[in-house]
A and B are shown apart, each in its own frame.
Chain A
Amino acid sequence: MTTMTLNAGEAGPAEDQTANPASESAVEQSAVKARAANTNIEVTGTVGSPFCDDAKLSMRNVNVFYGEAQAIHDVSLDIGRNQVVAMIGPSGCGKSTFLRSLNRMNDTIEGCRVEGELTLDGEAIYGPKVDVVPLRARVGMVFQKPNPFPKSIYDNVAYGPKIHGIASRRAELDEIVENSLRRAGLWNEVKDRLDKPGTGLSGGQQQRLCIARAIAVSPEVILMDEPCSALDPIATARIEELIDELRQNYTIAIVTHSMQQAARVSQRTAYFHLGKLVEVNDTETVFTNPEHELTEAYITGRFG
């Protein structure tokens, strides 16, 4: 389906017929052709409102390279304080790469290079004197696949506070663990088995454990890279509720493939296409009245 819709702009009816000889009639063929969007539009700049007044994170003219290949082209974006910003776009458009450059997780990838101005509360993220360890404590991350450590549930959550020396006494640590698990909505499910391995939980519970682990070090920003892609709808709904609650205290950037999810949890939405930031706006505007042709094509499901 994907290849077909992407090619449909150029492909003649005869070729369509050979590509799908068995199932579709000529009528359906032409309908598909009419719906298919032309994705070869040159993106010249970002439309909408990429900047905001009270920016927690601010990025200007960011370029990211993997070796010779450029993954992100000249992206500028602000992420406001206590705001949830959703990043959407088709696979391989650079959303995750962009997200990972916000807490320098890209440093772990060999050959990856980030250019541009990225600041957290006005301090340069890629400055020569910046220590990535405290930076990553301030900008936490939740990954696509739940990745609890092979330790007990308690030790998973206590890991961050321990390495950063946040809690000096056992009672303090207990309190942090309980608080984090409560805020992640997991406390009632696991309070009787804190010493059991975190890997024994269900997928949704594991992801909430990872969120609890991230908030246990009291970060200021939480980056979420498709946190629900491996979860069922019920677990997804719980995580989405959680994101909404977390917004009171944290700034959140979330990459998602689900447009419904972006619409439900975020205040602002950024649409990426082939490494470029096409459009940023209030979530409502993006989904009801998109300015850019590509954004409209994507959110109405005509490609991606």
Chain B
Amino acid sequence: MQTPTLFALLLLLILVAYGTGFSRALGAARSRGGIRSLASLPSYYGVHTALWCGLPALIILGLWLVFDDAIIRTLVMGGIVDKPESLSGQNLLYAQIQNMASGNLVGEATPQLTAAAEHLNSLRHGGQWLQTALILILSVGLGAYALLKVSPEMRAREKVEKVLRAILLMCACAAIFTTVGILMSVLFESVRFFQAVPVTEFLFGLHWSPQMALRADQVGSSGAFGAVPLFTGTLMVSAIAMLVAVPVGLMSAIYLAEYAGNRVRAFAKPLIEILAGVPTVVYGFFAALTVAPFVRELAQSVGLEASSESALAAGLVMGVMIIPFVSSLSDDVINAVPQSLRDGALGLGSTKSETVRKVVIPAALPGIVGGVLLAVSRAIGETMIVVMAAGLAANLTANPLESVTTVTVQIVTLLVGDQEFDSPKTLAAFALGLMLFISTLILNFIALHVVKKYREQYD
């Protein structure tokens, strides 16, 4: 039986197990005088039976799918007498055997290859049978076992909840392991990069030009990997974005939460949140095609030199993109400030704006700071807008009218297209990623710290 069919059959069995467990529990209850005589509700008996029927079988099926190929390969390769020494040679040979087994003959067929291919085919065929038999026996057998154990005394609910807890724990672990996995892969590749380029040069070098020579005598054969221009670029674009987003976002939140009537609020809040739904690519070409030329013309009209791709244009548009983050989060936090505080301030003769400035905002500050720092992380990690509007030249400059480049843009350009994965040029992307990861981590750490400090003061 093919695996998908088997899977579907297994699901059917699980459903049947639930139904029979449920009705068996009901039957047991009827002879004892109602559902209250059961230790758990009938549905828990159903779930309990279904779990016994399905869970072990599903786990075995999963393990089978993971290890199937490796085991078959070991068996097939074990039968070959004169294997090549190198791993790539073995890979090649096995690929040949696989091709032959599936009928696509490549190259000439030696008797040894033909025998191996037949061996592979028989193993696969047998494996399929074994898999089907094992899964079905396991599923039906354990399901029947659980069904036999259904009795009014059995505490099905407790057992089901234990399993549920384990499943929840596994889901939580999945997120953690993913993070650790990403961090590890980035870390190992970065270590390889730092073997080629010294850490100090990467961290403090002022020149970024990640070209690697294909031949030793090529012009500009040595690349420069100083990341400082990238980080100043990132910093500048993010700073411009925050200069736009924080005041506008915060003030719109204050307006919505404190001044706007219900009707305006119901209308304006979703409208602002639509901004968050605009794809960043759209913001990107808006920045590149509308805002950047506008910025350049404006600069020229006051006699300033401006490049057609500028940090200012990218930062402004990114700021607009972030406004809904700041405003929506701040709005929620401001609304959570108890009305009694406002009443207290108003009752002392505060004006509306004094109440907002001196009582409501200080009380909401931890949440506002949290929202702003979230927006900063978003700004640092944003890619599309800067790719399109900020440029690719790694200028070390403090002039927002010049074109700059950011860490994310460089990661994109380093990894786009065909790349060899052992040159420092490609590995530099991982080092940049690591730096980005560390800086957002530090930022989050600071955010948590700030929030905690204020919370101690205000709660």
List the interface of chain A (C-beta within 8 A of B): 103, 105, 108, 110, 132-138, 140-141, 143, 145, 147-151, 159-160, 163-164, 197, 199, 210, 213-214, 217
* Bound-state Cα–Cα, A138 to B262, Å: 31
Most buried by B among A148, A150, A164: A150
* Bound-state Cα–Cα, A210 to B348, Å: 10
Chain B: interface secondary structure?
A: helix
Contacts A149-B363, A150-B363, A163-B358: A143 and B458 contacting too (C-beta < 8 A)? Answer: no
Most buried by B among A140, A141, A217: A141
A140 touches B348 (CB 8 A): yes
Q: Collect the chain B residues with CB atoms within 8 Å of residue A135's CB.
A: 349
Most buried by A among B346, B347, B458: B347
23 sampled A-B residue pairs with Cβ under 8 A: A105-B346, A108-B343, A110-B262, A133-B349, A134-B349, A136-B348, A137-B349, A145-B340, A147-B343, A149-B344, A149-B345, A149-B358, A149-B363, A150-B363, A150-B458, A151-B362, A160-B348, A160-B349, A163-B358, A164-B349, A199-B458, A210-B344, A213-B344
Shortest C-beta distance, A213 to chain B (Å), equals 7
Does B443 have its Cβ within 8 Å of any Cβ on chain A? no
Shortest C-beta distance, B263 to chain A (Å), equals 11
* Bound-state Cα–Cα, A197 to B459, Å: 9
* Bound-state Cα–Cα, A151 to B365, Å: 12
| Seed contacts A103-B347, A138-B349, A150-B341; 15 additional CB < 8 Å A-B pairs | A105-B347, A108-B343, A108-B346, A134-B349, A137-B349, A145-B340, A149-B341, A149-B345, A150-B459, A163-B350, A163-B351, A164-B349, A197-B458, A214-B348, A217-B349
Q: Collect the chain A residues with CB atoms within 8 Å of residue B160's CB.
A: none
* Bound-state Cα–Cα, A197 to B354, Å: 20
* Bound-state Cα–Cα, A265 to B63, Å: 79
Contacts A150-B457, A163-B354: A137 and B341 contacting too (C-beta < 8 A)? Answer: no
* Closest 7 pairs (CB-CB, A-B): A137-B349, A141-B347, A150-B458, A136-B349, A147-B340, A147-B344, A160-B348
* Bound-state Cα–Cα, A149 to B457, Å: 11
List the interface of chain B (C-beta within 8 A of A): 261-262, 338, 340-351, 354, 358-359, 362-363, 457-459
Closest to B340 in A: A147
Shortest C-beta distance, B351 to chain A (Å), equals 5
B358 touches A133 (CB 8 A): no
Contacts A150-B363, A163-B358: A143 and B348 contacting too (C-beta < 8 A)? Answer: no
Closest to B455 in A: A150
* Bound-state Cα–Cα, A147 to B345, Å: 9
B338 touches A147 (CB 8 A): yes
Shortest C-beta distance, B286 to chain A (Å), equals 39
B342 touches A133 (CB 8 A): no
Shortest C-beta distance, A160 to chain B (Å), equals 4
Q: Collect the chain A residues with CB atoms within 8 Å of residue B343's CB.
A: 105, 108, 141, 143, 147
Which single member of B261, B262, B346, B359 contacts A149 (CB below 8 Å)? Answer: B359
Shortest C-beta distance, A96 to chain B (Å), equals 12
Which single member of A140, A148, A163, A197 contacts B347 (CB below 8 Å)? Answer: A140
Q: Collect the chain A residues with CB atoms within 8 Å of residue B459's CB.
A: 150, 199
Closest to A144 in B: B340
A214 touches B347 (CB 8 A): yes
Closest to B261 in A: A110
* Bound-state Cα–Cα, A163 to B344, Å: 13
Shortest C-beta distance, A288 to chain B (Å), equals 34
Closest to A142 in B: B347
Q: Collect the chain A residues with CB atoms within 8 Å of residue B262's CB.
A: 110
* Bound-state Cα–Cα, A103 to B457, Å: 31
* Bound-state Cα–Cα, A149 to B345, Å: 8
Q: Collect the chain B residues with CB atoms within 8 Å of residue A143's CB.
A: 340, 343-344, 347
Shortest C-beta distance, A72 to chain B (Å), equals 19
Shortest C-beta distance, A149 to chain B (Å), equals 5
B340 touches A159 (CB 8 A): no
Shortest C-beta distance, B355 to chain A (Å), equals 9
* Bound-state Cα–Cα, A159 to B349, Å: 10
B346 touches A150 (CB 8 A): no
Closest to A145 in B: B340
Shortest C-beta distance, A167 to chain B (Å), equals 14
Shortest C-beta distance, A57 to chain B (Å), equals 16
A197 touches B342 (CB 8 A): no
* Bound-state Cα–Cα, A137 to B345, Å: 10
A133 touches B458 (CB 8 A): no
Q: Collect the chain A residues with CB atoms within 8 Å of residue B342's CB.
A: 108
* Bound-state Cα–Cα, A163 to B355, Å: 10
Q: Collect the chain A residues with CB atoms within 8 Å of residue B344's CB.
A: 143, 147-149, 210, 213
Contacts A143-B340, A149-B341: A136 and B347 contacting too (C-beta < 8 A)? Answer: yes
Q: Collect the chain B residues with CB atoms within 8 Å of residue A110's CB.
A: 261-262
Shortest C-beta distance, B335 to chain A (Å), equals 15
* Bound-state Cα–Cα, A199 to B359, Å: 13
A147 touches B346 (CB 8 A): no
B348 touches A213 (CB 8 A): yes
* Bound-state Cα–Cα, A153 to B24, Å: 67
Contacts A110-B262, A150-B362, A163-B358: A217 and B341 contacting too (C-beta < 8 A)? Answer: no
B348 touches A137 (CB 8 A): yes
* Bound-state Cα–Cα, A110 to B354, Å: 20
Which single member of A145, A159, A199 contacts B348 (CB below 8 Å)? Answer: A159
Q: Collect the chain B residues with CB atoms within 8 Å of residue A134's CB.
A: 349
Shortest C-beta distance, A133 to chain B (Å), equals 5
Most buried by A among B344, B354, B358: B344
* Bound-state Cα–Cα, A39 to B344, Å: 35
Most buried by A among B349, B354, B457: B349
* Bound-state Cα–Cα, A103 to B350, Å: 13
* Bound-state Cα–Cα, A43 to B261, Å: 38
Contacts A159-B358, A163-B358, A199-B459: A147 and B349 contacting too (C-beta < 8 A)? Answer: no
